[in-house]
Amino acid sequence: MSNALPAISTSGAIKAYQSVDGGLAQGDSGGFSALLSRALDGAVNAGKQADAQATQAISGHGDLTQVVTAVSRAELALQTSVAVRDRVLQAYQDIIKMPI
């Protein structure tokens, strides 16, 4: 019984990556950095929306359910950003430790 991994073509790998990366446009020159930038922008926007909802609730014009939902989204976005940062730093440290 062989444990060899199946061969995959370059075009097959590209198609698989594009199906997972959230549909990055073909003409997008940013690649991974553009994807990461959009994700961070989304996290910042989630935080701003949570602040706006909380401000409305404090002034008596907001709905408590919307405030809780916005704060939960902002918290999830922050946790995701921290997890990605930690993984990037770990990958960098692993690369630095590689023998030349």
User: What pLDDT is attached to residue 34?
Assistant: 82
Q: For residue 65, what are its two tokens?
A: 């359910």
Where do the structural domains in the chain lie, given as residue ranges?
A: 30-97
Q: pLDDT of 20-77, one tens digit each?
A: 555 554 555 577 788 788 888 888 999 999 999 999 988 988 788 888 999 999 999 9
Torsion, CA 47, CA 52, CA 54, CA 55, rounded to 10: 140
pLDDT of residue 95: 92
CA distances from 9 to 6, 12, 16, 91 (A): 10, 5, 11, 25
Please give the Cα distance from 42 to 27 (Å, whole number).
21
Calculate mean pLDDT across residues 76-94. 91
Distance between CA atoms of 74 and 19, rounded to whole angstroms?
26
